[in-house]
Amino acid sequence: MITSLDQDKKIFLLGLSIAQLEEFATHYGEPSFRGRQLHDWLYKKGVKTLDEITVLPKSLRIDLKQKGVCVGRLKEVRRSLSRDGTIKLLLQTFDGENIEAVGIPTSNRLTICISSQIGCPMQCEFCATGKGGLQRSLEVNEIVDQILSVRAALNRAPSNVVFMGMGEPLLNVEAVLDSINCLNKDLKIGQRRITVSTVGVVNTLPQLAELALERLGSVQFTLALSLHAPTQELRETLIPSAKAYPLHSLLADCRHYLEVTGRRVSFEYILLGKLNDHIEHAEQLADLVGGFQSHVNLIAYNPIEDVDFKRPATNRIRAFKSVLERRGVAVSLRASRGLDQDAACGQLRRQHQIMND
């Protein structure tokens, strides 16, 4: 139950439940109420070090640190704030790697976009994260920290969480599900306000519903499939892994997820100027998801350096959306945020790497 990164020989408290923290306390010869105190200071107060937990005796804090116990918070390396209030944090892990988390505030909600891996192995052509490859998957404490860091930076409680940052969540599925459990039970964020975005991973997506039921007890979070193309041929040019995962198999697995969980699937579709934003593509997309209990979320592309893809014209975005609406497809257009501060996934990390090379 008590997790650690072997290379650091540290024991991280962040990510542990109240029952696990009580067990931790008794393991170290302390009464169980110490675990409840730890839980309160970790999740409500958001402390970063054991020294900040002044409710614990100083001798106990010293002893725990000597045994390699730490909170498990990350170091903020850099932040950027857009004119629209969107904040992007670059956070450093214990082994010196960097990850991104984004806070997107509106008048009545705060959505936090978080990463599940350091880098990404999927190599999607339009994604800044994939350009640097994969370093490793994140631990539970590193995922949960992103929520606490953005919460502290904006001094505001999060309402929604989306796993749409760096990495492919289904390649780190156990840590992602354990993180969802922590966000739900320890930070009191409802599962229905949590979204997991994936491009689809062979032999992983089909078992997601059963694994989620096993780990969480119930599955209420939203599964968002990054589709980005209405045909297999076009999808393969954008997402290399699609070659091994034909659209018909991918959609069949989505239907299985829906049958097991009762939760509709959301299809993410990044509109790339004059590439996948033609009227015929909208018609093909309507054919593909027609009759499927789903929702299509259109996203206008955020340009990144060294990539030739363009942001689509406003009239093309409207025309594409109009076709889907006429065909009876549930569709929404995600508002672009943070454009003046390079809000696309992986951009802040890439800039930091270039500056420090």
CA 325, chain centre distance (Å) = 28
- Pair type for strands 75-81 and 87-92: antiparallel
CB 207 within 8 A of CB 177: no
From the list 30, 100, 142, 268, the catalytic residue is 100
Residue 254 bears catalytic tag = no
Instruction: Give Cα separations from 278 to 164, 229, 299, 318, 331 (angstroms).
Output: 25, 11, 14, 11, 16
- Pair type for strands 4-5 and 10-12: antiparallel
Give me 168's structure tokens.
């492919």
From the list 113, 127, 182, 345, the catalytic residue is 345
Closest CA to 108 of 146, 149, 148, 159: 159
Residue 125 bears catalytic tag = no
- Alpha helices (H) in 67-204, listed in sequence order: 140-154, 173-185
CA–CA separation, 348 vs 340, rounded Å? 12
State the chain's maximal CA–CA distance in angstroms: 69
Provide the 8-state DSSP code for 128: S
Residues belonging to the active site: 100, 345
